Amino acid sequence: MSISTKSLGLHLGLLAVLFVLQFVLPAYHHGNIARIMVLASYAIGFNILFGYTGLLSLGHALFFAAGMYGMGLVVNQFGLPPFSALLVGLLVGGLVALALGLLALRTEGVAFMIVTLMFAQAGYLTVLYFGEYTRGDEGFVIQQAERVMWGIDLSDPTNRYFAALVIFGVSLLVTLKLVQTPFGKVLIAIRENEERARMLGYDVFLHKLAAVVLSGVISAFAGASYGLLFGYVGASFASVQYSIFPLLWVLLGGAGTVLGPFVGTLFMFYLIDLSSGITSAYMLIAGVTLVALTLFAPQGFVGELRKRVWRWLP
């Protein structure tokens, strides 16, 4: 069996398991997994830039929120149907990512991190500034009637689960395909040695810019979907906390692995969910776990799996 067949089988297998879980999970975990799949899509978007291209952005909440507000505002202000609104969310996310990429990619390393962080903070303050439309920090509700796409009510738990599965499946398979294409391999080459990639004749800036836009569009896709599936659009999703979350999820799961973002999001979600039932200092537990993982499994769960067992993992 070829590596690409094995790889495709593994990823389709995960999607099949998630499909089956829809029918067997208790209500609470059913809702959680739907949420995790959408958030994992956000982490997948982040991973394209961080894990595969080697660019650490601290401002990805800007893209997530651009998708969420791009979708939410056109529903709220103009009454656009959900699918058109979703496309608007993607478009806004893509344009914001293009603009940010053109400016931020003039820098690198720590400066890139700071510039992306600043842009995200500017985005957050923009949401507050236009409070008349965005309702500022309070945010607004996407009503149930506005969340019916092609006759499918996305507020229904089963429909929401399947919608989340489609969103996650698309993000996962696009990434899987991407890392197997020459374009994806160039991104990895840039991550490993940017100068060498440039010397080989690749336009590094253009490749990085494309990675920023693709990463931004997938993050915006997750943001728009999250608003649509869970009925709320709010400024907290544009805050710095939501720029740090995908970094944690990806580091935990394994940067530069296709499955890592999902595993990391799943682990972190349940770590917080379970530990918050024990102590109000649950972020301390999360912090200690992260430190322990950094020390003992620096490549994350899937990264370690690739290092020790399945070396063919993409």
Partner 1 sequence: MTKSMKKLHKPTRRDALKTLALGATGAAAATSLPLWARYASAQSAEPIRVGFQVHRTGIGAAYGRWYDRTTTAAAELINENGGINGRPVEIIAEDDGTDPKRGAEVVEKFANQHNCDIGFGTLFSHVVIGSAPRAGELKLPYFVVSEGHHVASGMLNRYTLQPGITDVKSQVQAMAPFVASNLGKKVTMIFPDFAFGHDHRDYFTAAIEAQGGEVLEHIAIPPTETSFTKYFPKIPRDTEVIYHVMVGPAVLTFVKELGEFFGPNRPEMFGFIDSLEAVDIGSPGLEFLDGTYFWEGNPRYAQADQSEHDAFFRERVGVDANGASVSDPKDVSTYAHMFGCWETLHVVKAGMESAGYQGTGDRAKLIEAVEAMTDMPHSQAHPQGAKLFNGKTHQVFGHQYITKVTDGKLLLVHTTSIEDTLYPDEVDYTTQSL
Residues that bind partner 1 (CB under 8 A): 26-28, 31-32, 35, 125, 128-129, 131-132, 135-142, 144, 155, 157, 230-232, 234-237, 241, 272-273, 276-277, 280, 282-283
Q: Taking CA 103 as the corner, what is the angle to CA 57 and CA 225, rounded to the nearest 5 degrees?
A: 50
- Taking the complex as a whole, the smallest distance from the CB of residue 251 to partner 1 amounts, in Å, to 20
**Complex with partner 1: residue 71 or 186, whichever CB lies closer:** 71
- Give CA–CA dist 197/106, Å, rounded: 17
**Complex with partner 1: residue 180 or 236, whichever CB lies closer:** 236
**Complex with partner 1: residue 83 or 129, whichever CB lies closer:** 129
Query: Pick from 147, 120, 143, 131: which is nearest to 244 by CA?
Result: 120
Strand 232-233 relative to strand 140-141, pairing: antiparallel
**Complex with partner 1: residue 188 or 286, whichever CB lies closer:** 286
Q: Dump the DSSP string for 13-69.
A: HHHHHHHHHHHHS-HHHHHHHHHHHHHHHHHHHHHIIIIIT----S-THHHHHHHHH
**Complex with partner 1: residue 130 or 310, whichever CB lies closer:** 130
User: Is the CB of residue 19 less than 8 Å from the CB of residue 165?
Assistant: yes
Q: Residue 2: helix, strand or coil by DSSP?
A: coil
**Complex with partner 1: residue 81 or 131, whichever CB lies closer:** 131
**Complex with partner 1: residue 46 or 140, whichever CB lies closer:** 140
Give me the amino acid identity at 294.
T
Query: 259 to each of 7, 219, 252, how far by Cα in Å?
Result: 10, 16, 11
- Taking the complex as a whole, the smallest distance from the CB of residue 20 to partner 1 amounts, in Å, to 20
Query: 216 to each of 131, 211, 212, how far by Cα in Å?
Result: 24, 8, 6
Please enumerate in sequence order all residues whose Cβ is within 8 A of that of 90, keeping only pairs 6 or more positions apart, or say none: 67, 70, 217, 220, 221, 224
Query: Pick from 90, 72, 92: which is nearest to 82 by CA?
Result: 72
